[in-house]
């Protein structure tokens, strides 16, 4: 889930 | 970036421009829910506040600015420039019914208890239901113009394509964003009824009409 908070999507 | 996400983004941009072009060229906002457009503007403003402190890519930045400016322009056209053509009598969905639950959900489900993360979660939940005033309006008037139908189809396809992108990203990079995925699935389900009508009526050259 760590990648989730990066918000690299629109 | 993968093909599903790219197609999703293209579909999203297409939807935004179909709507802007329709209102501009017909000089009319008839059949368009101003309330849905206000909700989408809130969604973009709440989600893209990170423009000021996080840089992902030029592509992301350009798209974010595009969505914010296009949605503001749409709201301006509906409520100011072509206000006389706006069908306010049929645009009666109470937006607090989606704003308040989205805010509550954001306080329950978020990745960290910071202002920007809460705003991000809020925008994800609000986006899932922001189209409800528009769908409500179509049901109330009993029909939608073909260009409005194309707009709704492109806008609905965008999140459906994102679901394929999330499945792909889960298997290729182990990326999983439960908040976006759950809200995205709800968002896509809301369009299912419309997708059915679109395929069975609009694509066969008929006008989209809803049974009473």
Q: How is chain B split into domains, by residue range?
A: 3-203
A3 CA: distance to closest CA in chain B (Å): 6
- Asked if A5 and B175 come within 8 Å (Cβ–Cβ), the reply is no
Q: Hunting for tokens 């208890």 — which residue is that?
A: B113
Q: What is the pLDDT along chain B (212 residues), one digit of tens a residue?
A: 999 999 999 999 999 999 999 999 999 999 999 999 999 999 999 999 999 888 999 999 999 999 999 999 999 999 999 999 999 999 999 999 999 999 999 999 999 999 999 999 999 999 999 999 999 999 999 999 999 999 999 999 999 999 999 999 999 999 999 999 999 999 999 999 999 999 999 999 999 988 76
Nearest Cα residue to B30 out of B202, B193, B203, B147? B147
Strands B143-144 and B208-209: antiparallel
The chain B residue lying nearest A5, using CA atoms, is: B111
Q: Is B117 left (phi over 0), alpha (psi -120 to 50) or beta?
A: alpha
Find out whether B72 and B18 touch, Cβ atoms under 8 Å. Answer: no
* Distance, CA of B60 to CA of B103 (rounded, Å): 25
Residue B110 near chain A (CB below 8 Å): no
CA–CA separation, B179 and B73 (whole Å): 29
The confidence score (pLDDT) of residue B2 equals 96
* DSSP state, residue A6: G
ipTM of the prediction greater than 0.90, yes or no: no
| pLDDT for the residue numbered B66 | 98
Residue B117: name the closest of A4, A10, A9, A1 by CA: A4
Chain B residues in contact with A3 (beta carbon < 8 A): 173-177
**Whether B162 contacts chain A with CB within 8 A:** yes
For residues B189 and B111, give the distance between their C-alpha atoms in angstroms, rounded to a whole number.
24
Query: What is the reported pLDDT for B53?
Result: 87
Cβ–Cβ contact A2 with B under 8 A: no
Q: Give the number of other CB atoms < 10 A from CB of residue B199.
A: 11
The band of A1, judged by pLDDT with boundaries at 50, 70 and 90, is very low
- Taking phi over 0 as left and psi of -120 to 50 as alpha, with beta for the rest, B31 belongs to left
pLDDT at position A5: 61
Distance CA B115, CA B49 (A): 10
pLDDT of residue B212: 64
């Amino acid at each position: 889930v760590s990648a989730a908070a990066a918000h690299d999507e629109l | 970036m993968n093909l599903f996400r790219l197609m999703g983004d293209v579909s999203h941009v297409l939807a935004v421009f179909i709507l802007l072009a329709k209102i501009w060229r017909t000089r009319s906002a008839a059949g368009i829910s101003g309330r849905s457009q206000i909700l989408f503007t809130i969604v973009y403003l709440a989600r893209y506040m990170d423009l000021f402190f996080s840089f992902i890519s030029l592509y992301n930045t350009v798209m974010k600015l595009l969505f914010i400016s296009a949605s503001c322009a749409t709201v301006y056209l509906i409520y100011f420039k072509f206000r006389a053509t706006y069908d306010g009598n049929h645009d009666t969905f109470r937006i607090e019914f989606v704003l308040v639950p989205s805010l509550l959900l954001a306080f329950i489900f978020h990745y960290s208890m910071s202002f920007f993360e809460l705003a991000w979660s809020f925008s994800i939940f609000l986006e899932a239901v922001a189209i409800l005033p528009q769908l409500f309006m179509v049901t109330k008037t009993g029909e939608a113009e073909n260009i409005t139908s194309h707009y709704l189809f492109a806008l609905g396809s965008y999140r459906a394509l994102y679901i394929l992108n999330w499945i792909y990203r889960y298997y290729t990079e182990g990326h999983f964003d439960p908040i976006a995925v759950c809200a995205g699935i709800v968002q896509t389900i809301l369009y299912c009824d419309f997708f059915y009508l679109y395929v069975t009526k609009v694509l066969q050259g008929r006008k989209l009409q809803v049974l009473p």
